[in-house]
Amino acid sequence: MNTTREKLVAEPERYEFSAAPMHQFELARREFFKILGAGIAVFVVAKDALALQETAPGSRSFHNEELPKEITSWLHIGEDGVVTGFTGKAEMGQNIRTSISQTIADELRVPFESVRLIMADTALTPFDAGTFGSRTTPTMTPQFRRVAAAARDLLIGVAAKEWNVAPEGLIAKDAKVTDPASGRSLRYAELARGKALAQNLPAEDPVTPATEWTLAGKPFPKVDGRAFVTGRHQYTTDIRLEGMLYGKVLRPPSFGATLTSYDDNTAKGTSGVVIVRDGDFIGAAAPSAHEAQIALDAIHAQWKEVPQISNEEIFSYLKQNAEAKSEDRFRRQKGSVEDGLASAAHRLNATYTVAYIAHAPLEPRAAVAQWTDGKLTVWTGTQRPFANRDELAATLHIPESQVRVIVRDTGAAYGGKHTSDAAIEAARLARAAGRPVKVVWTREEEFTWAYFRPAGVIEVKSGIASDGKLTAWDFHNYHSGMSAIETPYDVPNQQTEYHQVPLILRSGSYRGLAATANHFARETHMDALARVAQLDPLEFRLRNLSDARMRAVLEAAGKSFGWPGKKTGEGQGFGIACGHEKGSYVATCAEVVVDRASGSVRLVRVVEAFECGAIVNPDGLRNQVVGAIIQGLGGALFEAIEFENGRIKDPHFATYRVPRFRDVPEIEAVLIDRKDIPSAGAGETPIMAIAPTIGNALFEATGVRLNNLPLAPNGVQTLNT
């Protein structure tokens, strides 16, 4: 843990992007078709900078055969007419297996049911940096559209040659190519028969515009839905291999503790148990997890612990330990904040804080590792299979070509499954045991040894003119991150800065990153300014916004909600907030009721308008938007990781409260379909406005301004004091 802690400094929130080299290697076509069978294959070779973010150094291989470095996706049409798409992206509940399949079917003009996807397998799929940052829909989906368009052209070409006619007049539709002049047609399956045609294509081929989509844009149900409702889908945690052992890892009593003495004589005596000590790693593999735990319990290990700060002191610590001067890339400036404040009719200063929270995906971190002739195969639920492969290779001192990582459709991640911890643990134990080993983290391990959404402090100074227009905006985020840090409002004088602080708890990506923290501070502050200006919060926002898409979602949310709302009872309040990030726009309205006597909070109703360009699958999108609201209300109202001296104090579902059925309000998601705008991702942005919306509603209900997340873990306590 020591080394990990030292390495993980600075920007806790960022996704792991890397740059790509531009080397080109010959494609091993023969090998490719040997494995997939005869047919037609098309590869997308990334040329645009956006797509390059999805590629990175390291060898891409197809059963260890080199492929062009820039390939980001590929497609195969077999002799049976089955269309197979290959992507390094992983499915973990965000429903991209369905949305990508729809896109392929749409562009290739085949039935949805004939498309299957091979995902996130380092031996079978092209390199991909990871499934994060709402990148799949804006980058991977269009690539599949291009690859399908090229495959369609290729099929038309084959038919034209067959019939000895010009390809221009031929039509590809319903999985066949038709010649309208003669009326003859050939099915794709027939055209692919006996062929081994492969084509690389540049990534900028013209594709079907959203206005002409037939299968994309429709609410297709989740692929393999039946496997999920019958329990047949095999997650990583469900894998059982011949002779497999179960692994457990001895955890230090606290973060940063170092081993001072160690005695495993008793544990080693147990038959069928393998004990591994390698550096600071101590683990056991046994025929059952229970026996592995008994073995670990028999190890006498003593640790030297170090005193560490607690969640009580975290915010003052973050302020005191911020880097004296932040790097240029963390600063944005426009005009003069001093002048803007000086000329303001009203000024407002406020400080906001955001607690650490946990992802708590229901499927814990898990991995199954198997060594065969020096080669390692690891099944693990991760968002970054290729990075996991590289980390496994580096940690175990073997070449990357000897490691294969396979990701089964996973029991969620929310940004929490970037690292390869469980994979490394299973691989190390399996190597020692000479048998496959499965490691499944306990819930307590999940809450303790994974990583968190970082805590943060945000300071805002602002000024408005007498007409309610912003004159100055000064925004400083300590530790939580840069995402959506810049204000979408029109402010002539603004300064925005992210201040790095060395990590306290292991922290990393969380759905939306710091967009939630930054929106909480900004939109709470905007609400407070609206009160100062004596303007309606919606009107105040519109007065300071020229971005048409931002205005559109605000107005749509307000309209569906019935803003400004009409109070019909005691303790009732309405709130509104908005924002945009990663190419999509969100505005949220909420109604709360606070019980005057107890301070308890009831979230009654939420309306959220969301716009992410052309909608690929409205059904899947609705699930993501509603899901983000519900997940977000946890962090807004009550979720917080409590810690002291390197220990997590609430590492159980009994103590760390997550949203449950009775917390869920009436929810309306208003989806705005903009077919004229390229599709953006939707996994993250719908979460980021819910916290300030609830906070603003609570202010209206109680007159108490809550500037700290979570807002009301024990109700609105200040009411009674």
Name the residues that contact other proteins, by CB under 8 A: 92-95, 221-222, 225-226, 228-235, 237-238, 240, 246, 288-290, 359-364, 409-412, 414, 440, 442-443, 619, 623-624, 626-631, 652-654, 658-662, 664, 667
Nearer to other proteins by Cβ, of 246 and 330: the residue is 246
Burial class (CB in 10 A: 0-12, 13-18, 19+), 640: buried
- The nearest distance, CB 668 to other proteins, in angstroms, is 10
Residue with smaller CB distance to other proteins, 347 or 649: 649
Token pair of 478 as six digits:
């300590």
Looking at the Cβ atoms of 396 and 658, the one nearer to other proteins is 658
Distance (Å, whole) CA 529 – CA 320: 28
Q: State how far the Cα of 445 lies from the Cα of 441, in Å rounded to an integer.
A: 6
Strand-pair partners of 380: 367
Three state DSSP letters for 567-633: CCCCCEEEEEEEEEECCEEEEEEEEEEECCCCCCEEEEEEEEEEECCCCCCHHHHHHHHHHHHHHHH
Least separation in angstroms between CB 135 and other proteins: 18
Cβ proximity to other proteins, 4 vs 623, nearer residue: 623
Between residues 312 and 666, which has the closer beta carbon with respect to other proteins? 666
Instruction: Report the nearest approach of other proteins to the CB of residue 326 (Å).
Output: 34
**CA–CA separation, 172 vs 194, rounded Å?**
20
Compute the least distance from the CB of residue 658 to other proteins, in Å.
6
- The three-state secondary structure class of 695 is helix
In angstroms, what is the minimal distance from the CB of 411 to other proteins? 3
Q: At what angle do helices 618-637 and 515-533 cross, to 10 degrees?
A: 70
Would you say 40 or 616 has its CB closer to other proteins? 616
Nearer to other proteins, 314 or 690 (CB): 690
The DSSP-derived string for 107-133 is: HHT--GGGEEEEESBTTTS-----S-T
Q: How far is the CB of 510 from other proteins (least distance, A)?
A: 12
49/654 with CB nearer other proteins: 654
Please, which residue, 199 or 442, has the CB nearer to other proteins? 442
Judge contact between 332 and 487, C-beta under 8 A.
no
Contacts of 634 (CB under 8 A, 6+ apart): 357, 657, 658, 659, 663
For other proteins, give the closer residue by CB, 537 or 651.
Answer: 651
Distance CA 719, CA 721 (A): 6
Q: Cα–Cα distance between 571 and 595 in angstroms, integer?
A: 6
Nearer to other proteins, 167 or 618 (CB): 618
SS3 string of 283-317? EEEECCHHHHHHHHHCCEEEEECCCCCCCCCHHHH
In 3D space, the residue among 439, 516, 93 whose CA is nearest the CA of residue 283 turns out to be: 439
CA angle 642, 643, 649 (to 5 degrees): 70
For residues 639 and 700, which CB has a smaller minimum distance to other proteins in the complex? 639
Residue 57's contacts (CB-CB under 8 Å, 6 or more residues apart) are 18, 19, 20, 21
Identity of the residue numbered 448: T
H/E stretch holding 494 reads strand 494-499
Minimum distance of other proteins from residue 360's CB (angstroms): 6
Task: Extract long-range pairs of 22-26: CB within 8 Å, 24+ residues apart.
Answer: 22/69, 22/70, 23/69, 24/68, 24/69, 24/70, 25/66, 25/67, 25/68, 25/69, 26/66
Q: Using CA atoms of 372, 441, 264, 285 in order, give the dihedral in degrees to the nearest 10.
A: -30
Beta-bridged to residue 495, according to DSSP, are 333, 474
Least separation in angstroms between residue 27's CB and other proteins is: 35
Helix (H, G, I), strand (E, B) or coil at 274: strand
> Shortest gap between Cβ of 281 and other proteins (angstroms)?
23
Please state the closest distance from residue 288 (CB atom) to other proteins, in A.
Answer: 6
Residue 667 C-beta: closest distance to other proteins, Å: 6
- On the CB side of 137, how many CA atoms lie within 13 Å of its CA? 29
Query: Taking the complex as a whole, how short is the minimal distance between the CB of residue 556 and other proteins, in angstroms?
Result: 20
Smallest distance, Å, CB 94 to other proteins?
7
**What separation in angstroms does the CA of 231 have from each of 11, 73, 224, 235, 236?**
39, 30, 11, 10, 13
C-beta of 288 vs 401, nearer to other proteins: 288
C-alpha dihedral sign at 590, 591, 596, 599: negative
DSSP state of 663: G
Please count the CA atoms within 13 angstroms of the CA of 243 that sit on its side-chain side: 8
Q: How far is the CB of 453 from other proteins (least distance, A)?
A: 14
Rounded Cα gap, residues 122 and 46, in angstroms: 18
**Of the two residues 214 and 288, which places its CB atom closer to other proteins in the complex?**
288
Cβ at position 228, least distance to other proteins in Å: 4
Question: How many whole angstroms from its chain centre is CA 308?
Answer: 30
The CB-of-234 to other proteins minimum distance in angstroms stands at 7
Decide whether 182 or 288 has the Cβ nearer to other proteins. Answer: 288
441: which 2 tokens? 């983290």
- C-beta of 359 vs 479, nearer to other proteins: 359
